[in-house]
Amino acid sequence: MSHVWLNLILTVIVASSFVRTAGARCSVEGPRHSADLLLKGTVLTPQGSLENGCVLVRSGKVDYVGTGCGSDPSVTVVDCTGSVISPGFINTHEHIEYSTFAPLDDIGERVDHRHDWRRGMRDNAERPVQVNGTKPDATAWGELRHLFSGTTSIIGGAMVPGLTRNLDFVAGLEDGIESPVATWDIFPLDDSEGILRSRDCDYGPNATTVEEAGKLYRYMAHVGEGVDDEAANEFRCLSDPTYDVVPSPDGAGLSVDIVASNFALVHALGLTRADFDLVAQRGAKIVWSPRSNVFLYGKTLDVTYLLDAGITVALGTDWLPSGSATMAREAVCGYMVTQESFGRTVSPKTLWEMMTINAAKVAGFEEQVGSLEAGKVADIIVFGGRGAGGQEHDDPFARVVFSAAEDLELVMRGGKVLLAGERLGALTGGACETVSFGDMARTICVEDELGRSFAELERSLDGVYPAILPAIPDGEPTCKATR
């Protein structure tokens, strides 16, 4: 059976087990008479879910979270009883400017190292990708796609002002948060030319030094993106100063040790269990992008080993060409592949932590975002409906992590409403427009940040991959492991 068919069948199986039924929708009680809001519903917290809970938002920040909601006439009440209130998702890995390029066709090839597909090395097909439209337009489009599926913060290597927070740019943090920011790096070993090593560290002359890495607030770098010894070698060169002590002719090429609590390894697919033990011991972190791993390399890592070792793991979508279009689709993939490849279960709550509080820890912003706690910015999403239907998926965490964009009722960033459901019009202000999410209407208010309406940007991009997606996005790369 072809990979395409397998993928389709598996996707249908997963989707149908999370079938949504019509359910609760939020509504505003009376007119919006105050900028401050009291949201009522099932609230997700790292300690568990609070049925009949509430979140009080004052001046763009979370003021109170709990079950003692009472009735305060000085605030506008948003009744989301039966819906689930969560902190916005934090996507810890994206190449956001590739958001106008449709997912790559599946040619059935699974390679051993990223340079194989990047540069067509070792008899593999080169998989070129491109940015359609200007880079700022394509980046805005990507931020909108994530915003319209519940993501409020991104680390994506590019940014536009407004829309999602960009935790890797001082200018992209948005109201309520100050620097320092995370540093995003594709080639810590200066190997962009396709350098593959397995017995030494003779990569490019500008590999990251201990001193450089040590100065960074958070260093989030691609390491070991592959399944071969060349991928494993990259971690040896960044973790063991005794491994290569002979300089290359240009004076570089020595192994170093930068494994520390400010270091987050993106992908880390080539690491051994002993390597992960060292990552755990040093308090370093891992960014997991299972769909892109599976599509490009045929497998992903056993995340349960990392979790058992105590490593803080965050989820990231990688990019549209080989990864998930939304955080929820990344969660579906992570859940499914861990069961199929390793016979282990990652609970919806654990996945939710990887998308919220643990993502904030990995990015270094856990004091400001990642959970609904007094003093943090009010980056809040609400999913209506029953989310993941069926007995086993009544779990409110599952309803959020396996959500579909059509169920999104509310998105706010720092208390500012950017998307609102059909009965929440009273919350919106400024230049807003109505768009269709499946058969639901949503009000989106992004024009003052985008500098033009969403409809205008959409027209100018002329038929690129959409920013508002169905439950299963078109052309989604497979999550079916082949090894």
- Min dist CB 372 to Zn ion, Å, is 29
CA–CA separation, 177 vs 97, rounded Å? 23
Instruction: Please identify, using beta-carbon distances, which residue of 118 and 413 lies nearer to Zn ion.
Output: 118
Phi-psi region of 188 (alpha: psi -120 to 50; beta: other; left: phi over 0): alpha
The residue among 253 and 316 lying less far from Zn ion, judged by its C-beta, is 316
Cα R_g (the chain), whole angstroms: 22
Q: Which is nearer to Zn ion, 265 or 445 (CB)?
A: 265
**What residues contact 155, with CB distance under 8 A and at least 6 apart?**
91, 92, 93, 94, 166, 167, 168, 182, 184, 220, 316, 363
Residue 188 CB, nearest approach to Zn ion (Å): 12
Rank residues 79 and 168 by Cβ distance to Zn ion and give the closer one.
168
Q: How far is the CB of 336 from Zn ion (least distance, A)?
A: 21
Report the alpha-carbon distance of residue 351 to residue 77 in Å, rounded: 30
Give min distance, CB of 93 to Zn ion, in A.
6
Residues 285-324 that bind Zn ion (CB under 5 A): 318
Question: Which tokens hold the place of 157?
Answer: 């290597």
Kindly state the smallest distance separating residue 301's Cβ from Zn ion, in Å. 15
Distance CA 229, CA 233 (A): 6
Q: Which is nearer to Zn ion, 168 or 244 (CB)?
A: 168
CB of 280 to Zn ion, least distance (A): 23
Residue number, nearest CB to Zn ion: 318
Contact 389, 175 (CB under 8 A): no
**What is the nearest approach in angstroms of Zn ion to the Cβ of residue 289?**
7
Q: How far apart are CA 346 and CA 217, in angstroms?
A: 29
Q: Are strands 165-166 and 151-154 parallel, antiparallel or unpaired?
A: parallel
Beta-carbon neighbour count of residue 222 at 10 Å?
21
Omega before 396 within 30 of 0, i.e. cis:
no
Instruction: Tell me how far, at minimum, the Cβ of 318 lies from Zn ion, in Å.
Output: 5
Q: Considering the complex, state which of residue 36 and residue 318 has its C-beta at the smaller distance from Zn ion.
A: 318
Query: Binding to Zn ion (CB under 5 A): which residues in 24-43?
Result: none
CB of 24 to Zn ion, least distance (A): 37
What's at 404, amino acid-wise?
A
Pick between residue 321 and residue 387 the one whose CB is nearest to Zn ion. 321
Say how far apart CA 82 and CA 20 lie, in whole Å.
Answer: 14
Interface with Zn ion in residues 381-410 (CB under 5 A): none
Total interface residues for Zn ion by CB under 5 A: 1
Dist. CA 110–CA 299, nearest whole Å: 9
Nearer to Zn ion, 201 or 220 (CB): 220
* C-beta closer to Zn ion: residue 333 or 382: 333
Stretch (H or E) spanning 340 = helix 327-342
- List for the chain the helix, strand, coil content (%; round to 5): 30, 20, 50
Question: Which residues are near Zn ion by CB under 5 A?
Answer: 318
